[in-house]
Each structure stands twice: as C-alpha cells, then as structure tokens.
A = this chain, B = another copy of it.
C-alpha cells in the first residue's frame, strides 16, 4: 500500500519536512511516497500544487497527507481546496501560543523562517571555512580559536561531524587524526596538549571501521581488521588515560553524533 505525503511551505520546507518525516516514521508498515514542495509563495504556484495533490489522490485512490507550514491566508485557502488530508502545522499551534503569550503572531509569507536568515549565517560560513582549514590535522595553529577539537582514528567520522556542527550550530570544530606514531608515544599528541579542555574523542567498532576503510583502500594493511582493532584499542586506552570524553559513533547518524557532542561538551548554538 502506497500513500503520498506532501510537505509544503512558503519557505524552505525544512520544518514541514522535518516534522512530517518524524510523524510518518511512527507508521512503519505504510509505504509513503514523500514529496517536498518549498517556496509556494504565490497563488499560481498554489493552484499548480492543488492540481498535483489531486492527481496523487486519484492515482493512489487515497487522500494524500499534506503537511504544511504556509502562513499566508490567501495561499492557505487555495491549498485547502485540494483533495488531501491537511495537517496544518502552524495553525494548530499558533493560536494556543498566542493565548499563552498574550501576543499576536506575525502572519506573513516567509516570516516563519526568519530565524534562519539572521546573523548566524556569517558565523556558520566562517565555521565551515574553519572546519575545512583545520581538517585532518592540516593546521594546528588556529586551535586557540576552535570551539572544539575532534580526535579519533582515520575514518571514524570526524570530518562530516565537524561540517555538520559548523552548518547546523555555527560551532568552529577542528579535527585531528590520531595516527600510529601518536599512539607509540603513549601520550596526547603535542599539538593537542595546550587545548585539552576542547578535545572530544570519537571511537567506532573495529569491524565497521574496517568496512569503511576498505571502500577507500581495499585490502590494505590500513583497512585490515587487525589494524583497525589495534588502533581502536590503543585510542580508547588513551582516551581513558587522558580523561578525554568520547563517543562510539558506530550506531549513530551525523545528526546524533553532533547533538550528543553538543550535550556532552555543553557547547551552545551560535546565533
């Protein structure tokens, strides 16, 4: 059984898509065809969308679910004529919030996403550039400026995590790969020692690490299970000895790794 779900918005659609997907994930047995339609900000686009929703209703022989965060009332009215099951995300919550806050909300096209457009943009772009400049131990002289220094074995997920932290939270995260030479020294690499309080470690199941490394360099010593087991064992030993907080990333998505690091370090989103 297939069911179509639309996520529609006059902005990016990320709010409607995020909430809609989280709700649909609760219905595991239903196969949803998900369609995101952002920037529905005039009546022509709205009417086109109505046609599209109605077509899906006909094909599926079931009303599509329509999750929306449209705030403009004229556009809402057009959409409401579609043959869909409407989930009015803003309408549902804004009225009780207005009562509680004793304030009226500013209903206007695009306003809903204002939060994304403010000062944080520059900060996040800076953070992305910082992550790129300080990726993979390339530089260590900017560590004073870092909010966080992620350490871990090669291919344990440091780079995507740093980039996600930069894009999502404006966090300046450097990353430093722990190599075999570092492990032979039996102590924290010298470049890291002055920044101990900013260090956070990643670890990963050796089997998973071997799989990931094999994609990059098949059948090498680098990607052998034996080598991965050795590195991970030594790295975890170092984390414990040096009292570095760390996280096993094996079962987690980039979002989960990143939010767990935010919680563990007490870092806050930059605005």
Contacts and interface: CB of A to CB of B under 8 A. Distances in A.
A194 interface: no
A70 B3 CA distance: 25
Contacts of A18: 14-15, 18-19
A22 B68 CA distance: 12
A159 B26 contact: no
Given A38-B263, A128-B163, A159-B132, A15 B26 contact: no
- Copies of this chain present in the complex amount to 2
A255 B22 contact: no
B27 A121 contact: no
Given A19-B15, A65-B100, A26 B107 contact: yes
Contact of A105 (B26, B69, B94, B135): B26
Interface residues of A, number: 71
Interface in A94-150: 94, 96-97, 100-101, 103, 105-107, 111-117, 121, 124-125, 128-129, 132, 135
A97 B85 CA distance: 9
Contacts of A28: 106, 114
A14 to B, nearest CB: 6
A81 to B, nearest CB: 18
Contacts of A85: 100
A209 interface: no
A211 to B, nearest CB: 10
Nearest to A117: B253
B256 A116 contact: yes
A168 to B, nearest CB: 8
A209 B69 CA distance: 32
Contacts of A30: 101, 103
Nearest to A251: B117
A12 B129 CA distance: 25
Interface string A146-163: 000000000001011001
Given A19-B19, A25-B111, A111-B25, A255 B160 contact: no
Given A26-B90, A26-B97, A26-B105, 14 more contacts: A3-B101, A11-B256, A12-B256, A23-B93, A38-B263, A39-B259, A39-B263, A92-B92, A117-B252, A117-B253, A121-B253, A124-B254, A163-B163, A167-B167
Interface of A: 3, 11-15, 18-19, 21-30, 36, 38-39, 63, 65, 69, 71, 85, 87, 89-90, 92-94, 96-97, 100-101, 103, 105-107, 111-117, 121, 124-125, 128-129, 132, 135, 157, 159-160, 163-164, 167, 251-256, 259-260, 262-263, 269
